[in-house]
Amino acid sequence: MRFTYMTPSVERLPGYTPNEASALELEELLTPDSLERVRATLSSGLESAAHGDTLGLRVTEVDQHRKDGSIVATEVATRFLPTPDGRPHVVLGITRDIAERKLAQGCLRKSEERYRVLSETSPDLIFVIDSDDRVVYVNGAAAKSLNGTAEEIYRSGARRPLRATELRSYGASAQSCLRVG
């Protein structure tokens, strides 16, 4: 596969001029894992096009080699452009830098893991209850207080373990939490 056109903005992402980038093979631009994903996406697109779907947009996360040797995380949206008789002829690809998004996702995963460890190891009873009063999360201490495991409580479709009248002894702040969610 050869590139036939590259916008001048290509220089901002991988650092190659349009002429330099157009002269490179996919194997030179992509990491091995990304090359496999791109080939699978193109293969799937050709198969769909053979069944008449030439307009399907496919989005693939791709790690690209920059001219300076570093790697940049990108997202490539591709679509086959058909000939007048409907056969796939050209692949139109639009690439964008997703490094910041990947960084944010990593930070979110770390934060979720810290929260999970904190809630699971807390001696306090922690419940999350949905708008239908079903228990959707209990930590280990809460499950133990209900004489079961978290999985058993979820499977049972358990309703709120404490009624509003029972919460009066816990104070107004607990009632406010139940109203607000």
For 121-146, write each residue's pLDDT tens digit. Answer: 999 989 888 877 778 888 999 888 88
**pLDDT per residue as tens digits for the range 38-89:** 999 888 888 777 676 656 788 999 999 999 999 999 999 988 887 787 777 7
- The domains of the chain are located at 8-98, 121-180
The whole-number pLDDT of residue 161 equals 54
Helices (H), 8-126: 18-23, 26-29, 32-50, 99-121
What local confidence, expressed as pLDDT, does residue 177 receive? Answer: 58
Q: Are 22 and 8 in contact (CB under 8 A)?
A: no
Q: CA torsion angle for 50, 55, 61, 63 (degrees, to 10)? A: 80
pTM, two decimal places: 0.64
Give the CATH number of domain 8-98: 3.30.450.20
The span from the first CA to the last CA of the chain, in angstroms, equals 54
